[in-house]
Amino acid sequence: MARKKGSGALISDNRKARHYYEFIEFVEAGLVLTGPEVKSLRAGKVSFMDSYVDFRAGEAWLVGMNIAPYGNAGYVEQIPDRPRKLLLHRQELAMLAAKVAQKGLSVVPVKLYFRDGRIKLEVALGRGRKLHDQRDELKRRAEARDTAREMAERQK
């Protein structure tokens, strides 16, 4: 029951995840955030390094995403890498949790963006790539880039 892929003002993109995982399915989720975290996200101060989705007690939690503290937040304590609850439909949550438990797949965050004034997170169900798969993918991209460059030069 995947929703439409992320469209809106992009806040941040997890490019490393595309290197380490082969994506199978994408799902859009909401995030439970505090006010200063939203301000910090508007400034683009976010890091996806080593973040993943964990399923606990029938809920999905985003673990490891670092949102830098907002400077003008006042006295409110801000924990940059606290776990954040994901807002998913019950069917989506059950489907993702079942696939992760059975097949050894992982759910990783891919994109963070604004949609209709709300912050949305695109998560992907992915299978981890082996080292040789990563190298093959890099070679394939380099060959495609070289081919495209040669074709562009010939058309001039």
Q: Are 12 and 111 in contact (CB under 8 A)?
A: yes
13: pLDDT strictly greater than 60: yes
* Rounded average pLDDT over 94-110: 87
Query: What would the DSSP string read from start to end of the chain?
Result: ---PPP-SEEEEE-HHHHHHEEEEEEEEEEE---HHHHHHHHTT-EE-TT-EEEEETTEEEEES-EEPPPTT-TT----TT--EEEE--HHHHHHHHHHHHHH--EEEEEEEEEETTEEEEEEEEEEEPPHHHHHHHHHHHHHHHHHHHHHHHHH-
* Rounded average pLDDT over 9-27: 86
Between 113 and 151, the more confident residue is 113
Measured CA to CA, the distance from residue 123 to residue 52 in angstroms comes to 9
The CATH number corresponding to 9-130 among 2.60.40.10, 2.40.110.10, 2.40.280.10, 2.60.120.1310 equals 2.40.280.10
| Percentage of the residues of the chain whose pLDDT score is greater than 70 | 94
Torsion of the alpha carbons at 59, 64, 70 and 76, rounded to the nearest 10: 60
Q: Which residues pair with 63 in a beta bridge?
A: 52
- pLDDT on residue 7: 59
Measured CA to CA, the distance from residue 3 to residue 96 in angstroms comes to 14
- Domain residue spans in the chain? 9-130
pLDDT digit string, tens, across residues 41-66: 888 888 888 888 999 988 999 998 88
Q: Is 99 exposed, middle or buried (0-12, 13-18, 19+ CB in 10 A)?
A: middle
What is the pTM for the complete model shown?
0.75
pLDDT digit string, tens, across residues 104-133: 788 899 999 999 889 999 999 988 877 766
The backbone torsions φ and ψ at residue 69, rounded to the nearest 5 degrees and listed phi first, read -60, 140
